[in-house]
A and B are shown apart, each in its own frame.
Chain A
Amino acid sequence: MSDDLLLSVRGAGKRYGSRWACRNVSFDLHPGEVLAVVGESGSGKTTLLKLLSMRLALDEGSVHYAARPDGSGPGGLRDLADLSEARQRMLSRTEWGFVDQNPRDGLRMAVSAGANVAERLMVLGAEHYGRLRDEARDWMGRVELAGDRIDDMPSEFSGGMQQRLQIARNLVTRPRLVFMDEPTSGLDVSVQARLLDLLRSLVDDLGLACVVVTHDLAVARLLAHRMLVMKDGAVVESGLTDRVLDDPHHPYTQLLVSSVLMP
């Protein structure tokens, strides 16, 4: 079973001064598996996501990733800290995606929608303008954006559309692992449902592995196979999503689950 691991996290920790933002986090992720990380603000879940995606450096522990063998190095489970900067950059532009909570952080606001979607392909060396446009239009369609808006600027799009554009921008290189930071929480409830459904089917169709940080238990229920519950920088409970939500064991998880208001 271990040979089909995608990500292996052991004792991951990050410290700000004397305070640990997160510590002792360990888990394995397999291809196609969706893991939700839930907890309240300040629980360390976003810090964890940044550690996993190399946006922040670890102070403790390790993250191993099973890269595809390519021109910049061999495949197999490798310690991310040992990869060259060039290889790290290549990974985060091809095999990985990162969906920011605020689409303005993940998009280039000064270039068109089509250029946003095609950027990763250009980084990989694609040059044929017509083909790039076709690919961009195709991905805009897959995230339910009208193809005739390919030349519009992201600022002309609504929040929900910007978020879908950010998703298309990330998926265009067919990544194997996507990190998402509160992907739906800046959106109106009706827009959230549509985005969630879109994410659910894309994750399913593409066999994506995901780590989704969310404070919304309904998002975890709908998208994730497994979840981690974080509090004060530590994982207090983990397991199959419906087991954790329907039979929570840790006092904090019980509080979290019982605090949700049902409409």
Chain B
Amino acid sequence: MNEQPFQIQTVVRVRGLAKTFVLHNRGGAELPVFSGLDMDVAAGECVVLAGPSGCGKSSLMRCLYGNYAPSGGTVELRHGQSWLDLSEASPRQVIAVRRSTIGYVSQFLRVIPRVSTLELVSEPLRRLGFSRALADDRARQLLDRLALPERLWHLPPSTFSGGEQQRVNVARGLIAPRPVLLLDEPTASLDPRNRQTVVDLIGRARDDGAAIIGIFHDAEVRDAVATRSFDLGTCRPQRAPEEMAT
């Protein structure tokens, strides 16, 4: 399954990863999502996660981001000059990894009351130590490229349309150069023109050496950015019939 010789430029190394949810308030019902998952991703690759809906693509992304705790196995990332296993990293280490190594564009923007679009987009750069002026400048360029009208930049995105929020999310996710990018349907609610812009931005990040792991349901987008696909269908654990019923 997706065998690849170990190479120096590998930046994500997943071994025996398993995720099972245990619902204690439902009589301890177990919901196995995947198990025995191995994956290597190298710099400059864009791996698209494949498999039917419900097979655990988003859960895998969340494990890679440290948002879900794996039930088994390891998620190693190249962080600076060394490897870090997210499955046993401390909260501080995960925060440091998210600041400099791994970016995540989720499907939906988490809006913070009263924080302007510009501030939201420039924040990842400021966290890396760039000056406010430089970070704001870069944010403006990116928002302009994504055709978000300038009159919206100083407003919090809570009242924006789905597509506008999505572009803010993409800008925030891509503004800082990070070696690993996780993209969960980044073009879902975009019109063709903006979709093409996002495709260009993703392609550019990939060509600059980012390792990208993404979920793209749009076949055109997938064909434009992916270098290979990874099928989660093969990692699906067997569920007992009574567990299916809960």
Contact = CB atoms under 8 A, between A and B. Distances in A.
Interface of A: 30, 33, 193-194, 196-197, 200, 222, 225-226, 239-243, 246-247, 249-251, 254-255, 258
B57 to A, nearest CB: 16
Contact of A193 (B25, B67, B114): B114
Contact of B24 (A197, A239, A243, A254): A254
Contacts of B112: 197, 200, 222
Contacts of B92: 30, 33, 225
A240 B22 CA distance: 19
Interface residues of B, number: 18
Chain B CB within 10 A, most for which of A30, A33, A247, A255: A247
Interface in B7-39: 21-25
Contacts of A226: 91
Contact of A240 (B21, B24, B91, B113): B91
Interface of B: 21-25, 62, 66-69, 91-92, 94-95, 112-115
A249 B22 CA distance: 8
A30 B21 CA distance: 31
A193 B24 contact: no
B102 to A, nearest CB: 13
Nearest to B63: A247
Contacts of B24: 250-251, 254-255
B68 A246 contact: yes
A222 B112 CA distance: 8
Contact of B113 (A33, A193, A250, A251): A193
B114 A194 contact: yes
Contact of A258 (B22, B25, B113): B25
Contacts of B95: 225, 240
Given A197-B112, A254-B24, A247 B91 contact: no
A172 B141 CA distance: 38
Contacts of B113: 193-194, 196-197
Contacts, number: 50
A249 B71 CA distance: 10
Contact of B66 (A196, A200, A243, A251): A243
Contact of B67 (A197, A243, A258): A243
A196 to B, nearest CB: 7
Contacts of A196: 113
A211 to B, nearest CB: 14
Given A197-B113, A243-B67, A254-B24, 5 more contacts: A30-B92, A243-B66, A246-B62, A247-B21, A247-B67
6 A-B pairs with least C-beta separation: A251-B24, A240-B91, A197-B114, A247-B68, A193-B113, A226-B91
Nearest to A227: B91
Contacts of A242: 67
Contact of A254 (B25, B66, B91, B94): B25
A240 B23 contact: no
Nearest to B22: A249
Given A197-B112, A251-B25, A246 B91 contact: no
Contacts of B91: 225-226, 239-241, 243
Given A240-B91, A254-B24, A258-B25, A247 B62 contact: yes
Contacts of B114: 193-194, 197
A210 to B, nearest CB: 15
Contacts of B22: 249
B67 A246 contact: yes
A211 B69 CA distance: 24
A255 B23 CA distance: 10
Contacts of B68: 243, 246-247
B113 to A, nearest CB: 4
A33 B94 CA distance: 13
A242 to B, nearest CB: 5
Contacts of B115: 197
A193 B115 CA distance: 11
A200 B24 CA distance: 33
A238 to B, nearest CB: 9
A246 B69 CA distance: 10
Contacts of B21: 247
Nearest to B68: A247
A222 B110 CA distance: 10
A239 B114 CA distance: 27
Nearest to A251: B24
